[in-house]
């Protein structure tokens, strides 16, 4: 029975500063490091075969800390832009409260949570889905079918896309899904990749 664990990276400096981060390469805060360490403690009893992460250091650092915590630094780690956070375009680096003051809460929530609407010059969740899910199907599903345990440490929106695919969440309901930093979801599959159980760690 294959295991898939999805983990959002620990708190980044821009998370702390309440800024849109997107594709900007921002590191972890001390609290973010602690979140990754705590995640490792929760995953101590799972033996992983592969680790996947994005090309952004907040996810890479979180994965490294987790693997150090569980003493599994020898597993194969694959980095891919397909797992990167969505690009928030001209909103990147801006304070979220100031952006709400300028554009209104309703508009900002549409940019942040909707499926198909892009922020100015940026990616929608649909765009993120269309690069993340083909990669997942091609690269990761075969590992799970081979009964391998896989750890993915990525970002709020690339993980929202994955959860949307795995749990068959509609474009309407995905609006309400938020994945906080340091949060883990564990999936158990049968040999046909039917989900047997989902745990929130």
Considering the segment(s) 2-200 as one domain, its CATH architecture is 3-Layer(aba) Sandwich (3.40)
Q: How far apart are CA 178 and CA 50, in angstroms?
A: 25
Distances 118 to 86, 111, 112, 113 between C-alpha atoms, Å: 10, 6, 9, 10
Only one residue has tokens 């709400």, namely 100
What would the pLDDT profile of 171-200 be if each residue is shown by its tens digit?
Answer: 999 988 999 999 999 999 988 899 999 998
The alpha-helical segments, DSSP class H, found in the chain are: 13-16, 30-42, 57-69, 96-103, 105-113, 125-135, 141-145, 156-166
Tokens linked to 86: 């969505």
Distances 43 to 12, 59, 67, 173 between C-alpha atoms, Å: 21, 17, 9, 29
**Would you say 122 and 22 are in contact if contact means Cβ atoms under 8 Å apart?**
yes
Q: Does the pTM exceed 0.85?
A: yes
What confidence score (pLDDT) does residue 91 get? 96
What confidence score (pLDDT) does residue 67 get? 98
Residue 13 above 90 pLDDT? Answer: yes
The percentage of the chain sitting over the pLDDT mark of 90, rounded to a whole number, equals: 93
What confidence score (pLDDT) does residue 201 get? 79
Tokens linked to 171: 């474009």
Task: Work out the number of other CB atoms within 10 angstroms of the CB of residue 191.
Answer: 11
What confidence score (pLDDT) does residue 191 get? 83
Mean per-residue pLDDT over the chain, rounded: 95
Active site residues: 9, 85
Buried b (16+ CB within 10 A) or exposed e, 53-87: bbebbbbbbbbbbbbebbebeeeebebbebbbbbb
Residue 162 three-state SS? helix
For the chain, what are the domain ranges? 2-200
What would the pLDDT profile of 56-96 be if each residue is shown by its tens digit?
Answer: 999 999 999 999 999 999 999 999 999 999 999 999 999 99
What would the pLDDT profile of 129-147 be if each residue is shown by its tens digit?
Answer: 999 999 999 999 999 999 9
Residue 150 three-state SS? strand
């Amino acid at each position: 029975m294959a295991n898939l664990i999805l983990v959002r990276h620990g708190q980044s400096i821009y998370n702390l500063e309440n800024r849109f981060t997107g594709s900007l390469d921002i590191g972890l805060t001390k609290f973010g490091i602690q979140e990754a360490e705590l995640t490792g403690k929760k995953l101590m009893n799972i033996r992983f075969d592969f680790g996947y992460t994005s090309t952004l250091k907040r996810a890479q650092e979180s994965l490294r800390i987790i693997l150090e915590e569980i003493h599994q630094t020898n597993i194969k780690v694959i980095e891919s832009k397909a797992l990167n956070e969505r690009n928030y375009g001209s909103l990147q680096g801006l304070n979220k409260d100031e952006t709400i003051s300028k554009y209104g809460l309703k508009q900002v929530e549409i940019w942040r949570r909707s499926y198909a609407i892009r922020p100015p010059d940026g990616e929608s969740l649909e765009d993120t889905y269309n690069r993340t899910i083909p990669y997942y199907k091609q690269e990761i599903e075969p590992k799970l079918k081979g009964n391998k345990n896989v750890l993915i440490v990525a970002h709020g929106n690339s993980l929202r896309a994955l959860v949307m695919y795995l749990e068959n969440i509609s474009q309407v309901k995905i609006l309400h899904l938020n994945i906080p930093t340091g949060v883990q979801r564990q999936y158990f599959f049968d040999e046909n990749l039917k989900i047997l159980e989902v745990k929130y760690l």
